[in-house]
Structure 1
Amino acid sequence: MPFIPKHSVDYSLYLVTGRDLVPPGHDYYHTVEEAVKGGVTIVQIREKKCDTGEFIAVAQKTKEICHRHGIPIIVNDRIDVALAIGADGVHLGQTDMPVSIARSLLPEGSIIGVSCNTPGHSQKAREDGADYIGIGAVWGTQTKQLTEPIIGVRGVGEVLDSGVEIKAVAIGGITTGNVSRTLHGSVSVHGKALEGVAVVSEIMASTTPQQVARRLFEIVHGYKLAPRKHLQNPFRTPLDSSQNIVNAAASLLSIIRKSSPLIHQITNNVVVNQSANATLALGASPIMATAAAEMQDLSQVSGALLVNFGTIGDVEGMLEAGRCANATRKPIVFDPVAVGATQHRRTIANELMNAWQATVIKGNAAEIGALADSTEVQSRGVDSVGEGFADPASMVKALARKERCIVVMSGPVDYVSDGETTVKLSNGHELLGRITGSGCMLGTCIATFCAASNLLDTTDDPGPFRLVKGDMIIGAVGGILALNAASEYAAVRQDVRGTGTFLPALIDELYGMTPEKLVSNAKVELC
């Protein structure tokens, strides 16, 4: 019988061994024991290059170490080895022995895991009676020659959806640097999350395996104890009325003027000047920087990050900026300009969204449709073509659930959702759509208001608005209201005679915006 009942197995930190990864001068068995002491909860022994006798000897000694610490041992592929040493179970690949045959050969209660790369794999594993699945590869890995494509963090959720009744761990290139992103982003639209992560080289190749394992376990355990819908905020501002939302959003403007947050912007080079001026007009401070070498330092001092790839430039800078912003828990606003227009843009957007967790995704109908794999609205360059979505509120809500962030769909009417609450905003003026970069400036405004939300002093009396620190849906609503209300004030000025005079007037009205103006003009509804 297995050492540990399979229903009580903890998959939080799943170590896959690799003797060839152990650094020179370090002992494999010592590495395994140190890893277990650090927090590894289950161990799979994987040996691809040794004969059966050696495999059994290594597996037996590894099992003794694991069982001494109450940790189950799984054998990769080899049922004969698992039977020889009395392992707790086996892990099978897609080309290995079927689960049904493995089950008939192994002792009752044995654990059987299956590697899965597609929704079809996970569905079959569940139907075949597997106890858990290993989903991957999530990231690039040097420890195993991949026979299936890298699916990325966001691809894990699709695999999870097809195996909703089975436990799952993610595997492939997982490190202390990307484990938070892996856990947070690897969630199905139905809310199913990972049981844990499988790690290979991050532990096996370390000279301090106990410390590395401890850090990984702390991250995984912390996530499982208090999973957060968004990276920034486990709480919610009460969204029980549209007026409360407006009041809370408007209050952020005072925080912007008081704290003048630094807004780091990697943006479309067509609109750098307008975006910088809009940031200044709101009372914040812009910095436009794209070099990857600067990102760690900037993430320490910035209040928020805007990534707008309208004129795709330094992708490495975008990747590094997002990773650093996630690490320092700064909000990220992602504006995937014209993402549906070319395959190159879709590829870059996918790479960015797998590398880091966006706080807010902002786009027009065509851009949101492209991210949601919808053909209901088409893209013509940066513009949307068609009559729009039949149910825009449901579209943004579904995408917010899928991407686990706030989604803003801009247009004549704007929609904002966090996957639970959806808000409709009807402010704005048609002249906004006739100047270059109004959508890019909207991203700037949203990033500025999100920074203010993240800077809210939790010791302050929240006052009548009941605003909670880090509630990014309020930040998104505030940014939209600020720009759209400013456009309405600007359009009726006597000195505005067309688009050429409208743009400077718009900056003026952003500069003169007050919380009272936002509240009095807001046209906001809960959907």
Structure 2
Amino acid sequence: MSALKVDYSVYLVTGRDLLQPGMDYLESLEQSLQGGVTLVQIREKTADTGEFLEIAQASKTICHKYNVPILINDRIDIALAIKADGVHLGQSDMPISIARSLLPPNSIIGLTCNNAEHVTKAIEDGADYVGLGPVWATATKDVKNPTVGPRGIGKLVHLLEGTDVKSVAIAGIKSTNTLHCLHGSVSLGGRALDGVAVVSDIVASQEPKKAAARIAAEVQSFRRAQFQSFSLINPIHKPDYNPDSIKDAVGEILTSIKKYSPLVHQITNNVVTTQSANATLALGGSPIMATAPQEMDDLSAVFGALLVNFGTIQNLDGMLVAGKCANIRRKPIVFDPVGVGASQYRQNSANELLNTWQATVIKGNAGELAALANSAEVQAKGVDSVGSGFANPAQFVRDLAKAERCIVVLTGVIDWVSDGETVIRLSNGHPYLGEITGSGCMVGTSVASFCAGVCLSELAKNSSKNSQDIEDGRLFRGNMLLAAVGGVLAVTVASEFAAARKDVQGSGTFLPAFIDELGKLTPQSLASAAKIEVVS
């Protein structure tokens, strides 16, 4: 390895053609190092050998001034000539074994990998690190391989478990999506990327020092919060879950919703807009149903949580932008992939959404979640599930939550909620819920309302505390597992209360009674009826 300490956190790949008019290349490079770049790769695809050599030598002088290693893209001869710290190779470049024989023994050798086969071969050949991607589409280079998104990167990182091979993600990475990339790509075994490779977000900036500092801050925020802050899943100190403590916590969240009346932004299907808005109001929240991409940035500054329900699969552009804005502002997102197994278009859309932003909670029935997990155990018929369900629903929700790095809510006769570790079984509900349109969608609305309530409550409690701690997740903005449990219980318990009323004679009279009972819920009534079991 290099004599210099190798830190892959903020890996800059140069591109002189991206520089702003009037910006000097070496000045830009030095500013980026001052901002927090930890590793530099010199990439010159069109320069002749003499020019490349001159640029590389000057770049090395600046990089080593800041004790930052320098790598050369492709060109072993240039690396040898300037005594670079190593090289980065592509799949069509010189094999690692030959490069290793030519370079000094302490040289860093990295390899671009686009699939599992590439990663496996890189490990066998002795690569020091792999560049995994493309994560997202980019205009920086001609991307010949399909984008894989953070979830696809996570599968590749999984292959590195048990090895010393480091990894960075490449393509399309900016300060606004760095945290999603890092969090969403944590492998099933818990291994994370060692860094992110960035080109245009730094090189094309008028202020490369600030651009690099923004990305460095996101990487450090991710690490300080131990991979948890971005998804708003768990508190730093996990509680000892038991039915009584869960009931108490859920009651506190319900009180917070009524106290703070959080704005709950809902992009939902047009079949249930009215019911969803009424359910939000009944709980004490304030609904807004906005779909235009142009207003998402403004709304994300004020709403407490975002619900994305694509039952009628409209306004996909609005969903994409809304989720990105919510991620940037650390707002929880509840994703309800209604009928995702009904068509390939829905499955493709769900994948695009989940690779564009990080969900905090994913909620669905057995058929929907099976389609999302590519499981053949349960089939879907339109928006409904077919068959008896999962043989082991507790294990299924735990595994899916771990894979998607979020809370998973599996709805049905029995509801299951997991954060990837703890699984909670909920046994409330009435058959009338299955006889009205939109009951499942209202569960999503309720979960989003509880997520918003818990966030506003925690932020109010910690308003005098250090803002950096809040951003890092050290002062956590609530426990989203409990928020999801509360959202499910509110609907299922209210359904039981409504069905028991004398004025309810069937599904037609049930719906208005249900909204009434949802509005009447108190922490005491919710706790008295809630049927909770902590499975693990």
Pair in the same fold by TM > 0.5: yes
Question: Structure 1: how far apart are the matches of 2:477 and 2:198?
Answer: 34
SS at match of 1:496: coil
The two structures have a TM-score, normalised by structure 1, of: 0.96
- 2 CA distance for matches of 1:374 and 1:330? 30
Corresponding residue to 2:513 among 481, 505, 510: 505
Does the CA contact (< 8 Å) of 1:229 and 1:405 recur in 2? Answer: no
Alignment correspondent of 1:395? 396
Counterpart residue type for residue 226 of structure 2? P
Match of 2:168, SS state, is strand
How far apart are the structure 2 equivalents of 1:501 and 1:327?
43
Residues 235 and 471, structure 1, Cα contact 8 Å, conserved in 2: no
Paired residues for 1:50-69 under 5 Å: 50-69=47-66
Deviation at 1:264, TM superposition (A): 0.7
Change (3 A) 1:469 1:53: closer
Alignment of 1:179-194 (within 5 A): 179-194=178-193
Selected match of 1:31 from 12, 28, 31? 28
**2:418 counterpart of 1:381:** no
What root-mean-square deviation, in Å, do the aligned CA atoms of Structure 1 and Structure 2 show?
1.6
State yes or no: 1:240 paired with 2:237: no
Partner Cα distance (1:230, 1:444) in 2: 23
Mapping of 1:29-428 within 5 angstroms? 29-164=26-161, 165=163, 166-231=165-230, 232=232, 234-236=235-237, 238-428=239-429
1:494 to partner: Cα distance: 1.1
What's the CA shift for 1:218? 1.5
Q: Is the 8 A contact 2:222 2:228 kept in 1?
A: no
Gaps of 5+ in 2: 463-474
State the 4+ residue runs in structure 1 displaced beyond 3 angstroms: 457-461
* Equivalent runs, 1:488-503 vs 2, <5 Å: 488-503=496-511
Partners of 1:157 and 1:457 in 2: how far apart?
31
Q: SS of 1:456's equivalent?
A: helix
CA distance in 2, matches of 1:487, 1:288: 24
Deviates more, 1:51-60 or 1:40-49: 51-60
Q: What CA distance in whole angstroms lies between the structure 2 residues aligned with 1:458 and 1:146?
A: 42
The letter of the residue matching 2:492 is: N
**Deviation of residue 504 (structure 1)?**
0.8
The corresponding residue for 1:482 is 490
Contact 1:236/1:471, CA 8 A, preserved across alignment: no
Instruction: Name the aligned partner's letter for residue 190 of structure 1.
Output: G
With over 3 angstroms needed to count, the CA separation of the structure-2 counterparts of 1:97 and 1:304, relative to structure 1, is same
Residue aligning to 2:481: 473
Q: Distance in 2 between matches of 1:430 and 1:197?
A: 49
Structure 1 residues 323-355: Cα deviation after superposition (integer angstroms, max 9, x where no partner):
111122211100000111111001111111111
Shift of 1:66: 0.8
- The match for 1:464 is none
Deviation at 1:222, TM superposition (A): 2.2
Letter in 2 for 1:291: A
Deviation at 1:226, TM superposition (A): 2.6
Q: How many residues align?
A: 519
Tell me if the contact between 1:206 and 1:212 (Cα under 8 Å) persists in the aligned partners. yes
Structure 2 letter corresponding to 1:508: D
Using the TM superposition, give the Cα deviation of residue 173 of structure 1 relative to its aligned residue in structure 2, in angstroms: 1.2
Instruction: Report the Cα distance in structure 2 between the residues aligned to 1:344 and 1:277, rounded to whole angstroms.
Output: 30
Q: TM-score, normalised by structure 2?
A: 0.94
In 1, distance between residues paired with 2:381 and 2:182?
A: 35
For residue 236 of structure 1, report the CA deviation from its aligned partner.
Answer: 4.6
Q: Cα deviations across residues 167-208 of structure 1 (Å, max 9, x unaligned)? A: 111110111111121111111111110111111111111121
1:521 aligned to 526, 529, 536, which one? 529
Counterpart amino acid of 1:124?
K
SS at match of 2:424: strand
